[in-house]
Amino acid sequence: MPLLEVKQMTHFFGGLRAVHDYNLQVEPMQIRGLIGPNGAGKTTIFNLITGVYNPTEGDIVLGNETINGLQPFRIASRGLGRTFQNLRLWRHMTVLEHVKLARYSKINYGLIGAFFDTPKRRKEEHEIEQLAYDLLDLVGIRHLADHVVTNLPYGAQRRVEMARALATEPKILFLDEPTAGMNPEELVQMMDIIRRVHKEIGLAIFLIEHRMRVVMELCQIIQTLVFGEVIAEGTPDEIQSNPKVIDAYLGKEVEI
């Protein structure tokens, strides 16, 4: 049984058909990729599945529950974690606070604890902190825990997003261009982190990427999206040799 299944999802922005008849099945422990030219609708698909938009048609099933129409925070707490293409960090908060906050829906001490600093709250906050440190270790930025995020280099900020998404305890992780804007060194490190996360936590991962190297090395199955429609799906080798994909990226040869 697939972990996440999207069935015949279509979405309109007013009269514009942004996504058409999109299908997806993500198995446990699988790494899947979504590629396509700019404006193809990749991020829209992410936003549809994570609940930012509500699809016009189609069903999204996570585990054995239909999740379309739910608010983003409900979908997130059911095990669908994500990062953003343009970093969306909270500019006045420290790295540690970012990761701790992603435990929001798992907190049990409630308002009483928040108001009166009860022993239960202290215990829970302490546990959250330990967990946050572990995750920061995993992505290799524990030493930056007390820094405010705006002061960090770009690569570190991406890692904060990653640790934060992991703190929500996802079953499946959505990465929206995890290596965008990175230099080659940071790129290698990020790929390393993705592999490590996949292996150590046993996550299924669904990622959007522009850099072919990343997609081809990491993903088991890749979809190619053009103008909101999937034109090809298959293993990296199949995609690389698919004439439709080559057309979409490089254009057709025209005889003059």
Partner 1 sequence: MELNVKYAEENRSRFRNLLHKLWEPYKQVPLLGWLLAALVAVLLEMLVGQPLARLLGMSKIPALFGVILVLKTPILIPSTLLYLLLIYGLPIAITARLTAKLTDFIAAKLYNTSTGLSILLHVALLYAVLHLWTSISDYRLLVVKLTLISIIITLSLNVINGYMGEFSCSHPGFIALGAYTASIFTIVLFVSENQFGEAVLPPALGPYLFPIGLVLGGIAAAIGALLVAIPSFRTRGDYLAIISLAFMFIVVSLFNNLEIVGGARGLSNQPDYANLATIFVWTILSIWIINNFVRSTIGKALNAVRDGELAASAMTVDTRKTKMVAFLFSAFWAGVAGGLFAHVIRYINPGTFGIRKLAEVLAMVYLGGLNSVAGSVVGAVGFNLLSEALRPLEILKWIIIPVMLILVMIYRPTGLIAFTELDPIALIKPKSMTEGEADNATS
Binding to partner 1 (CB under 8 A) within 115-144 occurs at: 115-117, 121, 125, 128
Query: Distance between CA 242 and CA 109 in Å, rounded?
Result: 54
Cβ-based nearer residue to partner 1, 66 or 105: 105
Say if CB 159 and CB 193 are below 8 A apart. yes
Binding to partner 1 (CB under 8 A) within 65-94 occurs at: 71-73, 76-77, 81-82, 84, 88-93
Stretch that binds partner 1, among 53-61, 109-117, 185-193, 195-203 (CB under 8 A): 109-117
Query: Distance between CA 208 and CA 119 in Å, rounded?
Result: 43
Cβ-based nearer residue to partner 1, 114 or 235: 114
Say if CB 220 and CB 206 are below 8 A apart. no
Q: What is the phi-psi region of residue 11: left when phi exceeds 0, alpha when psi lies from -120 to 50, beta otherwise?
A: beta
Binder among 21, 27, 52, 63 for partner 1 (CB under 8 A): 52
Cβ-based nearer residue to partner 1, 72 or 181: 72
Binder among 17, 43, 61, 101 for partner 1 (CB under 8 A): 101
Cβ-based nearer residue to partner 1, 38 or 86: 86
Give the number of residues in contact with partner 1, rule: CB under 8 A.
40
Binder among 21, 27, 57, 97 for partner 1 (CB under 8 A): 97
Can you list the positions of beta strands (E) in the chain? 4-13, 16-26, 31-35, 57-62, 65-66, 80-82, 172-176, 204-208, 221-226, 229-234
From the list 207, 216, 210, 211, the residue with the least C-alpha distance to 235 is 216
Cβ-based nearer residue to partner 1, 64 or 108: 108
Cβ-based nearer residue to partner 1, 11 or 121: 121
What the block records as the tokens of 235 is 């293993």
Sign of CA dihedral 11, 207, 86, 83: positive
What the block records as the tokens of 58 is 């189609």
Contacts to partner 1 by CB under 8 A = 50, 52, 71-73, 76-77, 81-82, 84, 88-93, 97, 100-107, 109-111, 113-117, 121, 125, 128, 164-165, 167-168
